[in-house]
Amino acid sequence: MDYKPQIIEDKWQRRWAEQNVNSLSDAELGSANRPFYNLMMFPYPSAEGLHVGNMYAFTGADIYGRWKRLLGETVFEPIGFDAFGIHSENFALKIGTHPMELIPSNIRNFTRQLTRIGAMYDWNHIVDTTDPSYYRWTQWLFLQLYKAGLAEKKEAAVNWCPSCHTVLANEQVIAGACERCGTIVEQRNLSQWFFTITKYAQRLLDNLEWIDWSGTTKKAQENWIGRSEGAEIWFEVESPWEPTAGSDAADAVAEAQAHHHEAGEDDEYEQKLQISVFTTRPDTIFGATFLVLAPEHPVVEWITTDARRADVEQYRDRAGAMDLVTRKKTDKEKTGVFTGAYAVNPATGKPIEIWIADYVLMEYGTGAIMAVPGHDERDFEFATQFGLPIVRVIAGSGDTADSALSEAYADEGVLVNSGDFDGMASGEAIGAITSWLAEQDAAEPKVNFRLHDWCISRQRYWGPPIPIIYCDACGTVPVPEDQLPVVLPHVENYKPDESGVSPLAREESWYRVKCPECGGDARRETDVSDTFLDSAWYFLRYPSAKRDDVPFDAELTKKWLPVDMYIGGEEHAVLHLLYSRFITMVLHDLGIVPFEEPFATFRKHGLLIKEGSKMSKSRGNVVIPDQYIEEWGADTFRTYLMFLGPYQEGGDFRDQGLQGPFGFFSRLWDTVVPVAELGTAQPAGVIEQKMHATIAKVTDDIAGLRYNTAIAAMMEYLNALREGNRAVNRAEVEPLVVLAAPFAPHIAEELWELLGHSGSIFTGANWPSYDASKTIADTVEFVVQVNGKVRARMTMGRGITKEDAQAAALADDNVRRFVDGAQVRKVIFVPDRLLNLVVG
RNA sequence: GCGAAAGUGGCGGAACUGGUAGACGCGCGAGACUUAGGAUCUCGUGGGCGUGCCCGUGGGGGUUCGAGUCCCCCCUUUCGCACCA
């Protein structure tokens, strides 16, 4: 009887489904004593089907879950579909099938594939983000944030493809062009909904200290949040300058005045406009020889002089037409124009020119910088280009106050040309100058974050409608919670157009509604929300997937969350994983969930490559799991994926490699089948030690996700069992079947049954235990070195003394060749390992 | 540019707090069984020659009785962020 994986796998997959082996009933969910929530990142159900990358992630997570289950924990391992979003919609447009038909068929295909890979998913607790019973609660979530003042609508620059008539995400713009049609993308200002995640920046950063996540993932979040400390400094715009009464400019001045009055200033500052800048280097302020504003900075139109207005307008138009990706390219030449206006450097009291340039971004800091060309590379380049003054205010070692600058000196040093601060170290001067300016009410210490507010609105069709109604009388009105979901209507023409609004804005019968407050005529928000909002809370939904009265049941949430183990790709380090943390933190603050971090443990898995190169459709080297599973069986395929490299680092997929695990399972089969007839016996002496050591190693390796070495250890053990053609007994082989079960569940089930057990190995077996004292062999291979070089290896009893070892070593002919005639100066003895004789 | 990780046989990869480099597997070589099997089983497999030695973990220094592992400098690759002030 040969090993026939396809027959076995079919049998057990059928049985698991029929007997509900892998799903938890609601009663079990509610009563579990040792709940373990084992989560993997739910897939986007693409039309291409399950990718080997998905399977790699899922298999690694499934092994962990199955192992926990064999350890006696109640493991909840759900799966779902992240099916809304631009990818699905674009693909639907391309092939001309409506997403409402395409997605369900993709999901059916994924379900088939996910069953075939042999993961123990709880098919009774599926989540599909496009199901109204799910997105109803996504909309509910939006309303909670709205009510908490964390959702607001404001104008923002977005990428717009004039050919596809749509907004594009930054990732969809390749070298300034639309990824689909190649048209050059423009910037448009559209009114967008934002979640103010920036209010949580510091906490999101602080909690990274204690959550148990892969280090690289934490680092990526830390960089993305991008905290920088420095100062905000105010530069007065020089008179003569007067705002027109009632203008925005006048309001801005009034605001500045209020600020000064608050600070107890007298009226000296009346009628003055100030431009605030953020800098991490206030120590260089004496070298700030001009200001640069982002072209779209609101102050620009008020301060520009008549003589310069034409040039300024032209430059602003050009910058505005440029797409965001090209604009942010670092290697392009610096451009900019002078506004004609001057500001006063608060440190030197001297007037400096105010320029606009596209290298200054409105979205970071205050949208304006003090340019210090002597000590900032970009400012240096700009000043050189336009002949602006460059002053040295920091001296590095060997520099004097007058040393010429051939390039920006951005390092620390000693202050020069800085008035009373000359001679101070730059590090110290940061604080000293900030305080000095603060006394004059010209600056304050400031922490700035790179993180932006999360723009969640999309002018698209395939997403959950944002549950907001606009009423002329009442303004912005949230849809009452009892009227959720706002169902996404089936729209024939869901193609985005030139208008800059969602296709839903063409559905008058849908967007015309009565105001929930006054009953008057009103209009729905026609934008839908970002897919990342769907995935920012799905893990909360799984245990309560079947509830339609609440988004998540309080008791179940308390019992099962935070997620115990979350495994996923590093590509989501900053988006999904950050948004989920933010949403959870908000829900915590609103008293809705009792924890503020959603994932107690997160481990990233590595990336798979194929025969040394990246997998891609264009290379045609994408591994499709189905073919391999059909050929080799799911057990072999799963095990090979885990064997080809360290799980957290990824590895190189080579077709020939499948032979290894397949041979292992064939030999395991050949070894166990004859044993099934025999009774239980004690493991043989030599085998017993190896068995305990193997159980210890496999257990430890799985816990650390070192699956490749766990598999190697099982192979070694099987090789030891088969060595010398001895009779193998049941006590030697049964633990191995259980060790292999997380990796190869089907063959493990079959062998378990052949060994005379009834029911599933996952409910019937216990993870084998080991006796630590039995993991150690009685003899060791002992090494003798002379001057650090190995001269002999000898088998010794464990615990041999230094004296005995030395005597044995000196009795060895080869050792003697190197020792005789020389003086032994030193003897190094490492118990049970080696003896090093230092001679000379 | 900033941040992170990694460079080990023909290949994928092992190697605990410094202590036998190359576990396990692929591939390859020889043999056994036998004859269309992607088999199975035994033995071998880092390189070099003088067959017990020499050389070997990206390169160069250093610490040490002993370095893949620790320290310094350099090179290369991959990934993330990037005109972030």
Distance A204 CA to B72 C1' (A): 37
Angle of helix A52-70 relative to helix A685-703, nearest 10 degrees, comes to 120
pTM listed for this prediction: 0.91
CA distance A371 to A284: 10
**Cα–Cα distance for residue pair A504/A486, rounded to 1 Å:** 12
- Asked if the model's pLDDT at residue A640 lies above 80, the reply is yes
Q: Which nucleotides of B are covered by protein (CB under 7 A)?
A: 2-6, 11-15, 19-21, 23-27, 38-42, 52-54, 65-67, 78-85
Estimate the crossing angle of helix A730-740 against helix A659-675, to 10 degrees: 140
pLDDT score of A174: 67
DSSP letters, A511-571, are HEEE-TTT-SEEEE---EE-HHHHTTSHHHHGGGTT-SSSSS-HHHHHHH-SBSEEEEEGG
- Nearest nt (C1') from A335 Cα: B83
Among A265-269, A453-457, A460-464, where is mean pLDDT lowest? A265-269
> Which of A249-258, A363-372, A814-823 is least confident?
A249-258
Least confident segment among A276-280, A377-381, A815-819: A815-819
Q: Which nucleotide is nearest to A381 (CA to C1')?
A: B83
What is the structure's pLDDT at A329?
74
pLDDT of residue A527: 92
pLDDT of A168 > 80? The answer is no
Nearest nucleotide (CA of A714 to C1') = B24
The two tokens of residue A109 are 């295909």
In this prediction, residues A531-559 reach a mean pLDDT of 95
Q: How far is the CA of A713 from the C1' of B26 (A)?
A: 17
Q: Which helix (H) or strand (E) holds A114?
A: helix A99-116
> What percent of chain A is predicted at pLDDT more than 90?
60
pLDDT 10s digits, A86-118 = 888 888 888 899 999 999 999 999 999 999 999
Question: Measured in angstroms, what separates residue A219's CA from nucleotide B3's C1'?
Answer: 8
What is the overall mean pLDDT for chain A? 89
A454 CA – B34 C1', rounded, Å: 70
Separation between Cα atoms, residue A204 and residue A196, nearest integer Å = 13
pLDDT of amino acid A248: 60
8-state DSSP, A621 = -
Helices (H) and strands (E) in chain A, counts: 29, 34
Of all nucleotides, the one whose C1′ comes closest to residue A817's CA is: B52
Q: Between the CA of A580 and the C1' of B5, what is the distance in angstroms?
A: 25
pLDDT of residue A265: 46
Query: Residue A266: its pLDDT value, please?
Result: 46
Q: Which two tokens stand for residue A736?
A: 């191995």
Instruction: Give the residue carrying structure tokens 């949208």.
Output: A367
Assign A242 a pLDDT band (cuts: 50, 70, 90). low
Question: What ipTM was reported for this prediction?
Answer: 0.94
Q: Is the pLDDT of residue A438 over 70?
A: yes
Buried b (16+ CB within 10 A) or exposed e, A29-54: beebeebbbbbbbbbbbbbeebbbbb
**Half-sphere exposure of residue A743: CA atoms within 13 angstroms, side-chain side:** 30
> Please, what is the end-to-end C-alpha distance for chain A in angstroms?
65
Q: Measured between alpha carbons, how far is A605 from A642 in angstroms, rounded to an integer?
A: 11
Determine the pLDDT at residue A588: 97
pLDDT at residue A776, rounded to an integer: 84
User: How far, in Å, is the CA of A791 from the C1' of nucleotide B54?
Assistant: 13
Helical residues (DSSP H) of A117-175, grouped into ranges: 132-147
Reading phi first (left if > 0) and then psi (alpha if -120 to 50, else beta), residue A31 is in alpha
Of A134-138, A409-413, A641-645, where does mean pLDDT reach its minimum? A409-413
Asked if A616 contacts A104 with a C-beta cutoff of 8 angstroms, the reply is: no
**Angle at alpha carbon of residue A417, lines to A412 and A420, rounded to 5°:** 95
**How many Å apart are CA A273 and CA A238, to the nearest integer?**
8
By C1' distance from the Cα of A793, the closest nucleotide is B20
* A744-779 pLDDT per residue, tens: 999 999 999 999 899 999 999 999 999 988 888 888
The pLDDT value given to residue A264: 47
H-assigned helices in A226-355: 248-262, 300-303, 306-321, 324-327
* CA–C1' A211–B5 (A): 21
